[in-house]
Structure 1
């Protein structure tokens, strides 16, 4: 071996020995964080009554009478009602202390309908009773309180808005009842919408989260709470979701101080603006929240907001889509005056609304001989006709207003836009449509010019827009 070869071999050997050590140096050590933050993470156990007769009723709905098991089902139902009219259901979750006097944050679904709540502190022999201070079902948050009298360790909130995708995060909780389990991973994504509620804006992480982690903290490397672990994808691994601290902190403060949520309310129904809708509305790009209905007497109505308006900003904050508008409006206090950026019939304008209080109760809130089907309706692939008097009453439409969508041709532009038979057409391109002649005028005029027809439909008790692309004129 030459001297040069020997030196090269020595360098390679040194690199082989040094690189793993260097790699280990660059990896974070979570031990101190786990020890310090873990002291403020608690186990919540709850007891609630379950009406087993309701569960039996649901079971029988899926097993109709008349089959070979009818006798068995009759005997089962009698025996079930006699011996098990109700039962006590126990469940577990996680929470974390946010003040030395014993206020604890968890998920609403952990404590909802609980008749008894016990909190197990780390290192203590016996659990302590707790009471619910306030709940927010829409964001799935709750605050409970224990009367301990001691100086408890607690966690502080960080700012999830400044946390970057790819940053290290740590979850602490009680998965499957295994107390104070620490898992680590990265922030996988932000702003996830998973259909959990009206304010979906979840952080996604690959830090292991499992049943029992609900309500536990998601921490940054400084030990600050950047999220509250809430949901998982049952069929996947490494996909967990947390409510961001930027949304949760103010809600928790409200629950702690007022025992209820103070959320702004406009009183409108909205949907996203897609490319076809933007084209029909004369917008340069699809953005904002399209107003599909305005509740009479509510803040938006008083401010002059109209069906077909697009809300592009709220209080100076840009609104990218319907979900963003919900979050921004809700973040404002009831009674506050808020400027709304509005796009109306090709022009930008501003209106001022005095927000109300968001309340769950408000949220509960064939061809005729005289007028044959128009060619315009055929063009987009649907059959339209005036509503009969009894039909108009049934759907809550004034007599003489709107047209019934009697049929939708499969594969047609209307079908592609998800127009359905039974819908009531109220407007086309923001023009009232009360006859087939009205519809033809819009289609052959403004809609033909833009290449798209924006239809305002009434479906059940809801209004919604559908943008129908017109085929090229032959």
Structure 2
């Protein structure tokens, strides 16, 4: 899927923008302020209104609830946020994953309220918790949806005038005007990197809406931020948002690239002494990975990737994350006093993608679960609720995962109808609402591999989990009713993705 390209800007808009450029003439008595120059202030107001008129119809309300004529019904006070229509023909709306997750947790279903007040249920959800973006769809039949056109893939330069558009539940259209002030991380822990920063905070109900420029083009998806005298706003840049939306629409998941390096911040004094705008230091290189094959060595300073300067570790990750997989990627490194031009070919970060395993796109809640076929045998017994952890450690229990395992035995083979020759570890219990349960694991499934490590005992399973980086996703190969499948436990978000092997 390729989302619609931005159409040509009407010829009269550049005239307005060109006139606005005349506002900034410098500082001093010869340059009147905007407040003292009513014609110029009117021009800015006119451009703001025109941009909002063009993009406003493409911003919708998204929230939890059930369809009722003429209303968006949600439990308690209005909840939810905003979304941006990115494909009118297919009814595709881009919003924040956090908004979708809260709606599903609240009532298990999501509604969209259009600018004309009509309500439509969401019929498909595709999520990417890592970017905090989700693509939802509604039935477009009988609707005249309007998209917000994609803008320049590069973030707006500091000082660019931008507008934040939202449609908070229970409030209606919302707009805030300000300027882009650079890029950075939001103050919340674990926030995404290289976000567009503006000088105006975004209220919760407007998050997931559109950050646009004065031509009405989409430059970012807004994020809510805490208020206060020093509050600022943040938005996910449009180039990242568009790539995520296209991958979710095409594949149901997001492809990400890796070059096989461990990076660290470069010594700021060294960077300043060399007169560099920024750099990332290579701490380690994965053997036989793209960086290793491309000639990268530990302690190299990476100056640019893909012909874009690297400001630091975050900048490097952003430059590599969505680089085309398998395509040449130019890189400039500083090694000692020599500047070298290298070429790498990124690989997919997802081991399942490397194995060529295609995902199953989700189609409504529960998101990403692999549903049994109509001819499948009766489902396994309901999850066993685990009692409170005993005072002495039980090696079969994994409280952090909400999981209890045991080696195959005649009793378990009979209870769950397993193949007598099965190998691995049998899931005998999950904690409802725990990471394993949310990850689609249930009693009767057999875990055979964790992060490409074969597990044949409780000790090998515990070891495989222990060597995973803190908070890293756990990719498990399981046997479910005789079929080999994958489950992914996103330990930092509790979300889950389901992948099923081709028929053996």
CA distance in structure 2 between the partners assigned to 1:300 and 1:340 by the alignment: 10
Q: 1:119 to 1:284 in 2, by over 3 A?
A: closer
Q: Which has the larger radius of gyration?
A: 1
Instruction: Specify which structure has the higher proportion of helix.
Output: 1
* 1:414-460 CA-partner distances (Å, limit 9, x unpaired): xxxxxxxxxxxxxxxxxxxxxxxxxxxxxxxxxxxxxxxxxxxxxx9
Query: In the alignment, is residue 359 of structure 1 matched against residue 377 of structure 2?
Result: no
Q: 2:210 aligns with which of 217, 239, 251?
A: 217
Matched with 1:340 is 331
Q: 1:168 to 1:360 in 2, by over 3 A?
A: farther
Q: 1:135 to 1:35 in 2, by over 3 A?
A: same
Matched with 2:365 is none
Question: Conserved in 2, the CA contact under 8 Å of 1:274 and 1:287?
Answer: no
Matched with 1:186 is 178
Q: 1:203 to 1:160 in 2, by over 3 A?
A: farther
Query: In the alignment, is residue 145 of structure 1 matched against residue 137 of structure 2?
Result: yes
Matched with 1:422 is none
CA distance in structure 1 between the partners assigned to 2:336 and 2:191 by the alignment: 28
Query: In the alignment, is residue 28 of structure 1 matched against residue 45 of structure 2?
Result: yes
Q: 1:103 aligns with which of 88, 92, 97?
A: 92
Q: 1:274 to 1:175 in 2, by over 3 A?
A: farther
* 1:11-63 CA-partner distances (Å, limit 9, x unpaired): xxxxxxx9675355344134454344322211111369xxxxxxxxxxxxxxx
CA distance in structure 1 between the partners assigned to 2:211 and 2:271 by the alignment: 39
Q: 1:195 to 1:130 in 2, by over 3 A?
A: farther
2:264 partner SS: strand
CA distance in structure 2 between the partners assigned to 1:244 and 1:231 by the alignment: 15
RMSD between aligned residues: 3.6
* 1:100-146 CA-partner distances (Å, limit 9, x unpaired): 221101112111372321111122343433321x3332322221111
2:221 partner SS: strand
Counterpart mapping for 1:19-98 below 5 A: 21-22=38-39, 24-29=41-46, 30-46=48-64, 91-98=79-86
Question: Conserved in 1, the CA contact under 8 Å of 2:282 and 2:297?
Answer: yes
CA distance in structure 2 between the partners assigned to 1:237 and 1:351 by the alignment: 43
Query: Where do 5+ consecutive residues of structure 1 fail to align?
Result: 1-17, 49-86, 363-459, 463-474
Q: 1:130 to 1:42 in 2, by over 3 A?
A: farther
CA distance in structure 1 between the partners assigned to 2:264 and 2:191 by the alignment: 12
TM-score, length basis structure 1: 0.57
CA distance in structure 1 between the partners assigned to 2:234 and 2:346 by the alignment: 30
Query: In the alignment, is residue 124 of structure 1 matched against residue 129 of structure 2?
Result: no
Question: Conserved in 2, the CA contact under 8 Å of 1:92 and 1:177?
Answer: no
CA distance in structure 2 between the partners assigned to 1:278 and 1:222 by the alignment: 38
Q: 1:20 to 1:234 in 2, by over 3 A?
A: closer
Q: 1:287 aligns with which of 275, 278, 281?
A: 278
Question: Conserved in 2, the CA contact under 8 Å of 1:272 and 1:287?
Answer: no
Counterpart mapping for 1:150-299 below 5 A: 150=142, 151-159=144-152, 161=154, 163-175=156-168, 177-181=170-174, 183-194=175-186, 200-207=193-200, 209-236=202-229, 239-278=232-271, 283=274, 285=276, 287-299=278-290
TM-score, length basis structure 2: 0.53
CA distance in structure 2 between the partners assigned to 1:116 and 1:360 by the alignment: 32
Number of aligned residue pairs: 307
Q: 1:41 to 1:357 in 2, by over 3 A?
A: same
CA distance in structure 2 between the partners assigned to 1:176 and 1:129 by the alignment: 16
Question: Conserved in 1, the CA contact under 8 Å of 2:120 and 2:138?
Answer: no
Distance apart, 1:167 and its partner CA: 3.3
1:98 partner SS: strand
Query: Where do 5+ consecutive residues of structure 2 fail to align?
Result: 1-34, 67-74, 354-467, 471-504
Question: Conserved in 1, the CA contact under 8 Å of 2:79 and 2:169?
Answer: no
* 1:365-403 CA-partner distances (Å, limit 9, x unpaired): xxxxxxxxxxxxxxxxxxxxxxxxxxxxxxxxxxxxxxx
Distance apart, 1:285 and its partner CA: 4.3
* 1:141-179 CA-partner distances (Å, limit 9, x unpaired): 221111131331221111163744333322221346412
